[in-house]
Amino acid sequence: MSISAIESVLQQMRTTAVQTGIAPSTAAPAEAGGFAAELKRSLANISSAQQQAYAQAESFELGKPGVALNDVMVDLQKANVAFQTGLQVRSRLVTAYQEVMNLQA
C-alpha cells in the first residue's frame, strides 16, 4: 500500500465524518500534526461518536423527555459506521506495514 492510498483512505474518513456530522467541516490540515495527529483526531472522533450515541441510548432507556427512538438508532448507526471505517483503516495500515517490512533491502 502506498502513501497515496493511505492519504486516499484518510480523505474518505474526513468526508464520511463531515457527511455524518461527526467532525466539523473545517478540520485542521493534516500538515499541522502529520499522519499521527490526523489518526489520533480520527480515533477521538470515533470515540466521541460512540460515547454520544451510548449516552443518548441510556437517556432513552431512562425515559428522559425529548429523546426519540429514531434519533437513538441513527446515532448508533453513525457510531457503528465510524467504528467500522476505523477498523478498515487499521487493517489497511497493518497490511501496508507488513508490505514495507517484507521489502528486500
For 36-80, the pLDDT digits (tens) are: 888 899 999 999 999 999 999 999 999 999 999 999 999 999 999
- Measured between its terminal Cα atoms, the distance across the chain in Å is 17
Note the pLDDT of residue 20. 72
**Cell triple for 29:** 490540515
Phi and psi angles of residue 84, each rounded to the nearest 5 degrees, phi first: -65, -35
| Contact present, 3 and 35 (Cβ < 8 Å) | no
Which of the residue ranges 12-16, 31-35, 91-95 would you say has the lowest mean pLDDT? 31-35
Report the percentage of the chain scoring pLDDT > 90.
Answer: 48
| Contact present, 74 and 53 (Cβ < 8 Å) | no
55, 37, 59: which is closest to 47 by C-alpha?
55
pTM of the model: 0.64
